[in-house]
Structure 1
Amino acid sequence: MTTPVRRLSRPWMFLCASKIITPVPALGLFALLSATSLSAATETKIKFDLPAGEAAQTLKSFAQQAQREIIFSTKSVAGIKTNAVQGELTVREALATMLAGTSLTVFQDEKTGSIAIEVDPSKQSAGGVPVAPGQAVPQAAADANAISKDETIELAEFVVTGVFTRTKKMDVTASVSTVNTAQLAKLVPNSAADLLLNVPSVYVNSSLGEIRSIVYSRGVSANASNADMGYYYVSMQEDGLPLTNVGYSNWGPDYFLRADVTTERVEAVRGGSASITSANAPGGVFNYISRKGTDTYGGEVRTRFGLEGEENPYYRTDILVGGAGPLGTTYSIGGFYRKSDGARNPGYSMNDGGQIKLNVRKDYGKGSVTFYAKYLNDVNGWFEFYPANDFNDPRVAGGIDQSATNLHRPGKFSYVAEAPGLKRTFDPESLAHSVQKSIGADWTHDFGGWIISNNFKVSDSNTQWNTSASVALRDITRGSLFSNLNMLTGGVVPAGEWIFKDRTNGQIMARIQSAGTNNGSGGAGSSGLTVLENNLPRQDLVNGAVWSNNALVFDRWAKELMNQFTVNKRVGSHLFTGGSFFAYSDAYNFNTTAGRSVSTVTSNPTPMDITLITAAGSPYGAGQTLQITNPYGFSAEGSGYTLNEAVQKQTSAFFGHNWEINKSLTLDWGARYEYLEVSGLNNTGQANSTLNPANGGADGNPLTIFDNRISTRNATNWVYDRNLDTLSLSGALNYTINPNNSVYLRYTNGEKAPDLSFFIGLTNAFAIRNFATVPQKVEQWEVGYKLRGGAFNAVITPFYSKLGDIINTPITGTNTDNTTYSLQPLYSSVETYGVELETNYAFTEHFSVRAVATWQQAEATTWKFWNLGSNGPGDDFIVDIGGQDADNNPDWIVNLTPQYQRGRFTGNVSWKYMGARPANIANMFELPAYDQTDLFLSWAFSDRFSVSFNVNNVFDGDGVLNWAGYGDASSQFNRQNFTTRPANANTTFMIVPIPPRAYFLSATYKF
């Protein structure tokens, strides 16, 4: 593939077949350290006989004698003198000799060995004149350059993500950022998604923990504002292919993505070209690129000990080893193991596991092939909501211990998941157990100017969940609590005396009398519940306040095959690219609940024991004691389930054209066609009656109610077979003002096909017949200005994006006979405009500042939903609250990092600011702005050994990213349901604060 250094008035002198091109200083070119970029093949020595002279001529002669592809601009190297080269040397040794002391820098292709030469401004004198051969580079310039290359933005490096061909960042007509190895080593992220905090306009919410994060950019967020669907518009990739190509509620890439010592860098593309260079991800592409092996043995060991929250321990070890293998190959193998109790400890480890990754590469001159494999096995939990007050300034309610949790306590039990007796074990310490096994091969070859690349991967991924879910404050005097316990009969709380006991000491915490006449909806009809005794704590939060918690069970897997093929060819000043992407995914989902629990609003609460003493008229007779919960405090196991089986096939064809119109102006455009086929079946298992004296349940005892609801498979499989095609277009004009200044204008019109969530929601005849498979539209404009200097780089990008045809979640109404009906889905749109800034400046040889900032304004131009009246569809009507600010889109996102580096010491402070943002589309209230400060200190005892100290959230700030509703709604987690602020200013709702302060001490040894 052609990899231009900058736009030229003439064709390039040679083509370069490449995938990743890494900048390498001309001095010491052959001394690549495996710990920073493990890649290069063994080279033989060649006899050189080159005199000193003008670079434009000597580089041509060098290419002929070395029989290597050399890419350079005759204009850019004009006037530069190179040194004489004599004797038998490797290509690297010869180039190091030839360019020593000049202002030229070498970029080598890791796959093919192809070489690009260009001027490095930091090696020029203060007046911009190239340094003469043999003359030392001024120290200030060298130090400033070292600082610059240690930062996020480096416009001289090459990128492979979001472009059709491997391209230098200075020439990319898209918004591309990189987080390099040096910067990764300074971070202790809460999740892999946290690395994207270093990228403009990317919203990252990792407040729940290592998994279930939320990532989107430029306001393209409508279906991605909840943790279960946090990657709806973006593609999270590993070495150029998605972690998984299917997405639906609580299945996504971050269950299988971990950043560790094997991660060389992250390339981030937001908006723009993402629509045409990646599969079904118009919001952005984030590619986590792995280190490759070199012919020099070496590696790295990192150990880390930390304290999270209230001194909860964190242990981690990363290891990487690489070197030369048999038959001229190189290899890299590494991974990590981590065990931590989490920032808020429930009594067991919140994160326990790791991964191992391997790649073996063979460079054979005309091309290369890399085989890679990964095995991930990790257990992760996440935090649930805390009670909060004051919509004007949401904070965790006073007296609530933020170092504790409301998650399930330790203790496993058996339950019947499905008739005729399928037994499972619920173990809260298992949390979300994710395993991914994958193997693949990446091949590139130059067929005489036709550059062919093919990246192939197969993977087997699965997650097993035994977790808390839908943890909410409930009121024991309202019917919805009993609905959550699956204890309503015909919408009525069964008559009798309900007793809630503390299982640890037998104390009665509450007694409730049900008249058996109340409506279980929790509304005014709940007056049939009378409090006989109430010893529950924290009644100041909610009258009759208790925690309701679901024992959620998932059994999910996806077996996938992906292949991306690319071919490109340069013809004069035109570069053409074509290719295809294919993904086959066989997905399975079974989810159910092992029961529900009710506990006091205390730190690390234990589920209460619940019994019902029946009243007259009960089918059991009066005075019978029914055991509602099992010995562990869980009710209603076997309360129904969901089964989904789906096969998804996605085929893409793409085309790109790059035309160097003249020495300054370039046209870059492309198109992507995608064809999506999804077929499968959905089944919603049904449970038998709970309160039935003829039903003895799993244990045969009709008085033990907790095991009476055994689910059976629904006789109806809802079968579907859908297909959809989409077309995305994007084009840009790039104008090179001079080698250090360029500007581009890009327009994109992309489409986003529905994720699997849409298809597994087809669970009735009305939905299958009426819910059309409609793609969302993403239209974007962006203008990018890039400035490069020896000590200062900057990218400024104004942008506009419009997200249209947003399908709001289809809802179901209730008829007068308590049967249900479905309503037509509604469609909405969001527009966003803003400005991104990414810059770093080396003020001195020791002090630099990196800044990443975004200002934006997002508006839901239309936002429609159904307003349901009384039972039956007769009084249902559509409401449009468009014109409000779009939710979860802050006005400012800032990351400012001043750094001081002198001798063996490096230190920086990272200040992150998240601006205010509407809590929901109705703008019921505003989540306030907050800031967080992180500290990094490092001391290098030698070139091999260093120690570092990190403090995340130094001042223990308590910003809020997640919230849930209030009152007694059956679902407090659909934030769009809440349109007006309650009259009572002290109404309790729920929030998840950002992780508390954490300390980490790390030691790194490179060998």
Structure 2
Amino acid sequence: MTKTALQTCGSIVAMAAACLAVPAMAQDKPADATAADSAATTASENPLDQIVVTAAPGDRTKLRSSISVTGLSQDTIQNFTPHSEAEVLRLIPGIQTSGTAGPGGNANIGVRGIPVSTGGSEYVQLQEDGLPTVLFGDIQFGNNDYWIRFDNNVERVEAVRGGSASTFASQGPGAVINYISKTGTTEGGEVALSSGINYREQRLDFDYGGHLSDTIRFHVGGFVKDGSGPDHIPFNAERGYQIKANVTKELPDNRGYLRLNFKRLDDREPTNTSQPSLGTQNGNTITGFSNLGNLDPRKYSSANIYNQNFQILNANGGFETVPNEGIHPKATAVGGEFHYEFGDHFSVTDSARYTTQEGAFANHFTSEGITASAIGQTIPNAFGTASDPAAVGVRTIGSFVYAAGPNQGKVYTSPYFSNSALVYVRMRDTGSVVNNFVADAKFGDASGVKVDLKAGVFYMRQNISMDWRINNYTQALEANSQNAPLDIFSGPNGTGTQLAANGLTGYNNQWGGCCGGRQYDLTYTDTAPFANLDAQFGGFDFDASIRYDSVKAAGVTYAPTAAGTATVTDALGTATIPTLQTSTTVNERLNYTKHYVSWSLGALYAVDNDTSVFVRASKGGRFNADRLTYSGNFNADGSLNQHGDAVSLNFLTQQEVGLKRRGRLGGASYNVELTYFRSQLMENNYDFTLLSRNPPQNPNISNRYHSSGVEFTYNVNYGGFHLNGFATYTNPKLLNLGTTPQSTPKFAYLVSPSYDAGFAAIGVSVNGQSSIWTDNANTVKLGSSVFVNGFVSVRPYPGVELGLNVNNLFNRIGYPGGANVQQRLSPTSVILDSSAVYGRTLQGSVRYRF
């Protein structure tokens, strides 16, 4: 065990043994950490009564919080039957996600018109019980949604957009989304078995919680999953489990609590980076989608029986066979929470967690080419890559030949083929240590004036150690899951020199040769003291908060510059193909620290017991981490050079005005929230994938964004009838180009009515959005889209529930997160590619609650 691990375990033991807090905390919690848990249950008809525990002081209801916050209950999310964490997030107003990258993660998550320029979750932080899953949401091949899973352990998901996200959390100024766990406040549990009806997937969920004594309670739960998924992948692409547990000791005289928690995640899931279709274009708008030959984007996966395993050239220079395992995170976390009240006026709260994380990202990206057009071109020009090791000389494509399958040895003549990256990345270490502390002092007088001062320190050390192996791979595009690899020959009809073997045209040479053999070991340490001052008198509430982040970067990257060749033999013969290898030469040293200040100001007025209005302004910093490597941003001593200093930080400023109202109308109760928001961002970043374009593009990004809009959320309950949803209007602008940012809808909405008669329940959810541009230049846009989900449940016996859920009820083809035009076949027909919505999926379940 490392010294740091011992220190962390020592910190947790110290909390348990001596009730002493070690510095750090990004948020506070109520005296009983799960007062919010019970509030979520008892206030189902009054969501504005819920205590906000995410990126907030921790003792305010939604009605009396001057922030935009949404809570999603366990039942609400279950009824929606999300196939991924991104689909959970699509239920939150103001959050933009690709939504369809698959259950493994890898979604791009934007907020309130601020798009994702490079990938991942740049301005949105995902948390479990108030602690980040990873420090940076856009770690390359380690995004924050890799490491979190929604299951029965979750009491609710709470999301704060804008506002206090700048000062109550680090590296997430746009939004903080928190998965809040059950902690045994409610005695009982559940066992649920669900199965795909028109696809192969089985999942067992379980959880149980309760009291071991008058002062000790616990909760334990998790899931086990197995199957091939909605893409009908012809092997067990889904295979994994999660176990979470916690034990809470309530301290004497209701002074507080002590909690220990544990998590183990080992979940292999496919990821959908490319699902092609034909698009019909009218003017500058894609008005409809259809299958690309026999490829159905609602079912297509690049993973198939021919690349279930594939070969890489590893960092030691040896060949290695690896599984095509999609996204496979492995995480083990132990932690603790401690809250103690010294009296009526002073309390401390501390959380700590030590996490070991590793895993793999394996995927074959699909990039569509026209077979006839590629004949006669040279490699790599035919594939749109920018560079290729010159050791093998010029290679001209004469023909494609099936390298495997029933047509092995025959010439390939189908109209389309794929040539793109076959990726295997080892996430050798993305573990972290996080420790949070806050002290709270409260004062008041007989006149009703209350002052609350909170101060604390957040500390997190994040490791990022990766090993990239990215080959160039060619395969057929004929069927959803039976696409064989293609070998290339220099002559017609499979004659001449063989230029590929097993579909491989090179090892580590994809994406322009910039990245195929990357290897690096980096550590980022963020120490952030913060303070919040809140004053209440009458119906007024004023708060001001400030955060000072100090982020230190350290480590090395190694240069992928050793070029050579490899001789590879398959069933068709022998090919000499190019290689790029990781050298032992240090490419960059990182040794620098950046300091920056974030702030937030808010005011709220409670018009009466059921109505409040608020205003807020904030400015939050965001540190650019591993995406700055391999980009010429560092001096020899590890410090930032002039360009690196300019792109190392981004600041998001935001303003909000909001109204919250609850009430009754006739026999119905309702809650509504209306918020006007504005956001401004000057973003500097680095996107290495732009180097792989033909011709190469400048990878340095410098964009000015402005966004404004309105969020409207509502909840209506009338007996057994419930209506929930939201509508958002956003006017995003990319100022330096005078265009609308790509993949960002101006209008999005969710309408979700349901009726619960006790013995049975039924409901639907309608999720729609307006058209979105496919590129920042605004040359082509996708038309508006609407997707419908539904559920029916029957309770034939107390505690037993039979359920049927359907996603994408009308089996529509769509790309709600945007798509790229890969090929233009005619003025009215294009080939599109991105993560598409799954086709209609039916899932049956049986639950027993006890």
Q: TM-score range by the shorter chain?
A: 0.7 to 0.9
Q: Is the counterpart of residue 221 in structure 1 residue 115 in structure 2? A: yes
Secondary structure of residue in 2 paired with 1:178:
strand
Q: Is the counterpart of residue 382 in structure 1 residue 271 in structure 2? A: yes
Distance in 1, matches of 2:670 and 2:456, equals 37
Q: Is the 8 A contact 2:220 2:245 kept in 1?
A: yes
Q: Is the 8 A contact 2:794 2:803 kept in 1?
A: yes
Distance in 2, matches of 1:822 and 1:682, equals 23
1:570-609 alignment runs, 5 A limit:
570-572=442-444, 573-594=450-471, 596-609=473-486
Q: Which residue, 587, 610, 614 being the options, matches 2:487?
A: 610
Distance in 1, matches of 2:833 and 2:683, equals 31
Partner of 2:3: none
Partner of 1:833: 708
Q: Is the counterpart of residue 368 in structure 1 residue 269 in structure 2? A: no
Per the normalisation by structure 1, the TM-score is 0.72
Distance 1:273 1:574, change over 3 A: same
Q: Which residue, 155, 159, 166 being the options, matches 1:268?
A: 159
The more displaced of 676-685 and 726-735 is: 676-685
1:666-677 alignment runs, 5 A limit:
666-677=541-552
Q: Is the 8 A contact 1:282 1:752 kept in 2?
A: yes
Q: Is the counterpart of residue 346 in structure 1 residue 237 in structure 2? A: no
- In the TM superposition, residue 353 of structure 1 has moved relative to its aligned partner by 0.9
Q: Which residue, 16, 35, 38 being the options, matches 1:21?
A: 35
Distance 1:491 1:789, change over 3 A: farther
Q: Which residue, 238, 249, 263 being the options, matches 2:140?
A: 249
- In the TM superposition, residue 708 of structure 1 has moved relative to its aligned partner by 6.4
Distance in 1, matches of 2:214 and 2:611, equals 45
Distance 1:321 1:165, change over 3 A: closer
- In the TM superposition, residue 595 of structure 1 has moved relative to its aligned partner by 5.0
Q: Which residue, 799, 813, 836 being the options, matches 1:993?
A: 836
Distance in 1, matches of 2:315 and 2:594, equals 37
Q: Is the counterpart of residue 897 in structure 1 residue 752 in structure 2? A: yes
Distance 1:504 1:673, change over 3 A: same
Secondary structure of residue in 1 paired with 2:504:
coil
1:908-947 alignment runs, 5 A limit:
908-947=763-802
Distance in 1, matches of 2:469 and 2:662, equals 56
Gaps of 5+ in 1: 1-14, 26-35, 38-106, 108-148, 511-534, 539-544, 616-622, 691-695, 863-881, 969-980
Distance in 1, matches of 2:676 and 2:194, equals 40
Per the normalisation by structure 2, the TM-score is 0.85
Distance in 2, matches of 1:706 and 1:441, equals 56
Distance in 1, matches of 2:654 and 2:822, equals 40
1:816-895 alignment runs, 5 A limit:
825=700, 827-842=702-717, 844-862=718-736, 882-895=737-750
Q: Which residue, 43, 50, 58 being the options, matches 1:157?
A: 50
Distance 1:746 1:764, change over 3 A: closer
If asked which structure has higher relative contact order (CA below 8 Å, sep 6+), I would say 2
Distance in 2, matches of 1:176 and 1:364, equals 31
Distance in 2, matches of 1:482 and 1:749, equals 43
Distance 1:784 1:626, change over 3 A: same
- In the TM superposition, residue 933 of structure 1 has moved relative to its aligned partner by 1.1
The residue type paired with residue 373 of structure 1 is F
Partner of 1:189: 82
1:77-92 alignment runs, 5 A limit:
none
Partner of 2:93: 200
- In the TM superposition, residue 584 of structure 1 has moved relative to its aligned partner by 0.8
- In the TM superposition, residue 625 of structure 1 has moved relative to its aligned partner by 6.0
Q: Is the 8 A contact 2:560 2:580 kept in 1?
A: no
The residue type paired with residue 724 of structure 2 is R
The more displaced of 236-245 and 760-769 is: 760-769
Q: What does the per-residue CA deviation read over 1:717-749, in whole Å, with 9 as the maximum and x for residues that have no partner?
A: 321222211211111111111111110111112
Distance in 2, matches of 1:899 and 1:780, equals 35
Percent identity (aligned): 20
Distance in 1, matches of 2:184 and 2:630, equals 43
Distance in 2, matches of 1:982 and 1:333, equals 55
- In the TM superposition, residue 472 of structure 1 has moved relative to its aligned partner by 3.4
Q: What does the per-residue CA deviation read over 1:207-263, in whole Å, with 9 as the maximum and x for residues that have no partner?
A: 121111222221122436xxxx22111110001101111442221121111100111
1:547-946 alignment runs, 5 A limit:
547-556=418-427, 557-572=429-444, 573-594=450-471, 596-610=473-487, 612=489, 626-630=497-501, 632-637=502-507, 639=509, 640-660=516-536, 662-690=537-565, 697=567, 704-705=574-575, 709=579, 711-713=581-583, 715-759=585-629, 761-762=631-632, 770-772=643-645, 773-790=647-664, 791-807=669-685, 809=687, 825=700, 827-842=702-717, 844-862=718-736, 882-946=737-801
- In the TM superposition, residue 1002 of structure 1 has moved relative to its aligned partner by 1.5
The residue type paired with residue 334 of structure 2 is I
Structure in which a larger fraction of residues adopt strand: 2
Q: Is the 8 A contact 1:771 1:824 kept in 2?
A: no
Q: Is the counterpart of residue 961 in structure 1 residue 816 in structure 2? A: yes
- In the TM superposition, residue 166 of structure 1 has moved relative to its aligned partner by 2.5
Secondary structure of residue in 1 paired with 2:425:
strand
1:427-576 alignment runs, 5 A limit:
427-428=323-324, 430-448=325-343, 449-473=345-369, 475-477=373-375, 478-479=377-378, 480-481=381-382, 489=390, 493-494=394-395, 497-498=398-399, 500-501=401-402, 503-505=404-406, 510=411, 536-538=413-415, 545-556=416-427, 557-572=429-444, 573-576=450-453
Q: Is the counterpart of residue 329 in structure 1 residue 216 in structure 2? A: yes
- In the TM superposition, residue 760 of structure 1 has moved relative to its aligned partner by 5.1
Q: Is the 8 A contact 1:805 1:827 kept in 2?
A: yes
The more displaced of 681-690 and 266-275 is: 681-690
Q: Is the 8 A contact 2:395 2:499 kept in 1?
A: no
The residue type paired with residue 154 of structure 2 is T
Q: What does the per-residue CA deviation read over 1:887-919, in whole Å, with 9 as the maximum and x for residues that have no partner?
A: 222111111111222232221111111221222
Secondary structure of residue in 1 paired with 2:145:
helix
Partner of 1:80: none
Q: Is the counterpart of residue 320 in structure 1 residue 207 in structure 2? A: yes
Distance in 2, matches of 1:925 and 1:419, equals 41
Q: Is the 8 A contact 2:192 2:204 kept in 1?
A: yes
How many residues get paired?
783
